[in-house]
Amino acid sequence: MAADAPLISARDLAKTYRLGDHAVHALRGVSLDIAAGEFVAIMGPSGSGKSTFMNLVGCLDTPSAGTYRLDGEDVSRLSRDALAAVRNTKIGFVFQTFNLLPRMSAVENVELPLLYDGTGTRDRRVSSAAGGREPTPARSAAATRRARALASLKEVGLEGREAHHPSQLSGGQQQRVAIARALVNEPRLVLADEPTGNLDTRTSVEIMAILQRLNRQRITVVLVTHENDITRFARRIVTFRDGRVQADVPIEQPLSAEDLIASLPVEEPVA
């Protein structure tokens, strides 16, 4: 990708869903560029098209019309397998409901994207061929996965919680695990869909502090939210309505989540 080219470039994006004889126009000719290293908040009421736009940006769906280039590559018409490869190498996802597997520990949940890229499958094949004894290449791959997962958990402040299962973690800690999982493949883009929707005020600000810190490390962050308070942490706010971009406003001085945390009262632990 050229140095001055946007990381995300959408041109005349449209998405139409068919419900019987009825056509639902979720997106109507959206054109939008997002540069590498930006922190953008996407807002809009229910049915505005913001979630559909995020699905297209995240390569979870393809447009009915228009083009979408991610990191210089036209991904508008890629196959499902090709889109999956793009997601696994360039995009990290954070969801409102965490989407953690309850029977796996925090570190095992974070390792999952590293298994999806095919490394785990190759390791199991090698191990089976060796009569059940894990050879050095497999041990090395497993150790690499574990080291990267542990580093991601450390990045979000969860040292000492690696072996905990989701039921043993608070909502904020579960969202930190989800962010660590999004980071483990070193994506260029993090898509966060209502990441604070299930969290209290202080925990929400703590999550935004993590996202701001990642953004300072030149990771592009695109956040969908319906909370005006959360948009104050972004550097740009894009508002959708009726499938179109209604407003696109840069924020010269975003609110610092770390500074806000320092001013919030510390919650007393429950006895």
pLDDT of residue 138: 66
268 in a structural domain: no
Q: How many domains does the chain have?
A: 1
244 in a structural domain: yes
47 in a structural domain: yes
Query: Taking residues 195-204, what's their average pLDDT?
Result: 92
Q: How confident is the model at residue 264 (pLDDT cuts 50, 70, 90)?
A: confident
State how far the Cα of 243 lies from the Cα of 27, in Å rounded to an integer.
4
Question: What are the pLDDT digits (tens) for 2-19?
Answer: 456 899 999 999 999 988
- Say if CB 98 and CB 175 are below 8 A apart: yes
pLDDT of residue 115: 87
270 in a structural domain: no
User: pTM for the whole thing?
Assistant: 0.88
269 in a structural domain: no
Q: Which domain holds residue 122?
A: 8-263
CA angle 207, 110, 147 (to 5 degrees): 110
- 3-state percent breakdown (helix, strand, coil) of the chain, nearest 5: 40, 25, 35
**At 111, is the secondary structure helix, strand, or coil?**
helix
What tokens appear for 202 in the block?
Answer: 């202080």
163 in a structural domain: yes
271 in a structural domain: no
